Structure 1
């Protein structure tokens, strides 16, 4: 199927992704997992979770291999790859031709929200993703976004408002405060809303919110900077804004995402409300309180509690 794995199209902490082709000519992405201790649980979790889904903004699982130590997932192939290569300037693939227009960015942010709404409300059971980030958003030929990578997802009943977890999970820069410390509140679907907000801010700014190469990850620069400009109603100074429509879309994305990253989960909107905010008029949106932004400690004394490697790979830890 993958022609001896000669066409590698992705790499992560989980393993590698290769381009393949079915006998009927359909292109697929074959995700081969590393042979590490924790992969079996993550693999079974991903298969069990995504098998429950069917939505235009959620990637389709076409099959899997679970034979001895060999584990692979077969997904529909996404020609445009992941969202990260279109927004991060420090990405090796980034060039001016990959920069997306504001209309496209806006539609991508709306599509991701609709996919999350389906996971939170549209399934028979509620699915919490716990790893929403640009790397896990795939784009098809028409730049329609699809949520992928359900290795850290948790399935719960639709009636559950707060879920119990024995471990914290996610990637530095996107983890909701309550996920790594229960002092901030209970873990719920609002934790995905936080991750979504942080991701949309990166889409707006074209840069990572957190510099993972510095020791003090509590300083999240771009959200503070853009909040100040929004609060004072100043010019956004963002690239590629060429008209009033672009400016309105950018301001709606910023205002909505700043609501999403409120530290108190109860202050964040539901993902359904997020869609309503994005689709509504800019005049109806209020500037939220300034978020108190924080990240898990990554100092050497806390290295055993690190939530992510320096390259952004996701891991979990017990708390």
Structure 2
């Protein structure tokens, strides 16, 4: 009797434990997150990244009172940690579990002055949150305005020196992600909206929701479909038949970003409110020749604009084989503009058969 009772009690306890664990997992990883991403998220929870409860996140953000912005991967709110540090909290819906995992896996252990710092995260029911350092000067697209635009001058215009430093910093951040991480990171969504600026206008690459990781010895990666933003997206990412996706896919996007910032800085008939397919191809067709690309005034301005355009055009050549890697882009920044060769003329988006 005693043996039977002990066995029954043991089985009952085991069933109870299994039931409690199952329900805890069901609560923590609802729906798609539970079935697809739970193992990866569980592994990340054991990493060095600090986790917070949902109630702590609500307290940090004063019940999400101050909205900083809203994008395709969540709404960002301003918050304050217990030590008084300002933070940015991105709230993600359950349907974006992949983006959550990508961000934590991509930058959870990175450390570079030009990559945004992930301070912590929260997973609670259907709510997911990523907690970043706060960038007081917002994103780079806020400054994508021409200096002669009468309605957008002053604090929203960047000097050539400041713009040059920002673009160099972005190149250095991408070089770090591509070469120096334990797992190389391909961002796949480099654009002005995803470049944040700190109090000293140092750029920080952010928003790794579409990023892909690859091992140091891997040169190519596979993706399940087009990733990125039209106008910045490399041809091989948009059209799979164009070639394999590599770290150079970020190089193309970086080149488009450089050309965009130079174009709006000089008001080269660029509509800064339209970053779609009609804006970039039309503009790039105009600036891909030496005469249009270097149409800046003043000696120093002309040299800065010319160097940036040459670098940008090299990054969007017809084939990835012709694109420099980010370390080569950095070398170009260290080269005198007189020693930089203007690349061959290309039509819109690196396609010689289109205009």
Q: TM-score, normalised by structure 1?
A: 0.83
Report whether the alignment pairs 1:16 with 2:75.
Answer: yes
With over 3 angstroms needed to count, the CA separation of the structure-2 counterparts of 1:219 and 1:144, relative to structure 1, is closer
Q: Comparing both structures, which one devotes a greater share of its residues to helix?
A: 2
Partner of 1:317: none
Count of aligned pairs between the two proteins: 282
Contact 2:145–2:272 (Cα < 8 Å) also in 1 = no
With over 3 angstroms needed to count, the CA separation of the structure-2 counterparts of 1:78 and 1:58, relative to structure 1, is same
1:250 Cα deviation (Å)? 1.1
Equivalent position to 2:323, from 224, 248, 268? 268
Contact 2:185–2:214 (Cα < 8 Å) also in 1 = yes
Report whether the alignment pairs 1:293 with 2:352.
Answer: no
Contact 2:232–2:252 (Cα < 8 Å) also in 1 = yes
Secondary structure of the equivalent of 1:252? Answer: helix
Report whether the alignment pairs 1:26 with 2:81.
Answer: no
CA offset digits 1:146-202 (Å, max 9, x no partner): 000001000001221221222220011110001121332221111000000001111
Tell me which structure has the larger Cα radius of gyration.
Answer: 2
Report whether the alignment pairs 1:47 with 2:104.
Answer: yes
CA offset digits 1:16-36 (Å, max 9, x no partner): 11111001000000111134x
With over 3 angstroms needed to count, the CA separation of the structure-2 counterparts of 1:208 and 1:49, relative to structure 1, is farther
Partner of 2:164: 106
> Using the alignment, how far apart are the partners of 2:304 and 2:161 within structure 1?
7
Q: Which has the higher contact order (CA 8 A, sep 6+)?
A: 1
Secondary structure of the equivalent of 1:277? Answer: helix
Equivalent position to 2:152, from 89, 95, 107? 95
Equivalent position to 2:140, from 83, 88, 91? 83
Partner of 1:258: 313
Partner of 2:192: 134
Report whether the alignment pairs 1:193 with 2:251.
Answer: yes
CA offset digits 1:181-227 (Å, max 9, x no partner): 133222111100000000111110114589567xx749712222122
Partner of 2:118: 61
> Using the alignment, how far apart are the partners of 2:293 and 2:128 within structure 1?
50
Secondary structure of the equivalent of 1:192? Answer: helix
Q: TM-score, normalised by structure 2?
A: 0.75
Secondary structure of the equivalent of 2:344? Answer: coil
Equivalent position to 1:225, from 270, 286, 292? 286
Contact 1:57–1:112 (Cα < 8 Å) also in 2 = yes
1:172-191 mapped onto 2 (5 Å cutoff) = 172-191=230-249
Contact 2:183–2:216 (Cα < 8 Å) also in 1 = yes
Secondary structure of the equivalent of 2:176? Answer: helix
Contact 1:79–1:140 (Cα < 8 Å) also in 2 = yes
Partner of 1:144: 202
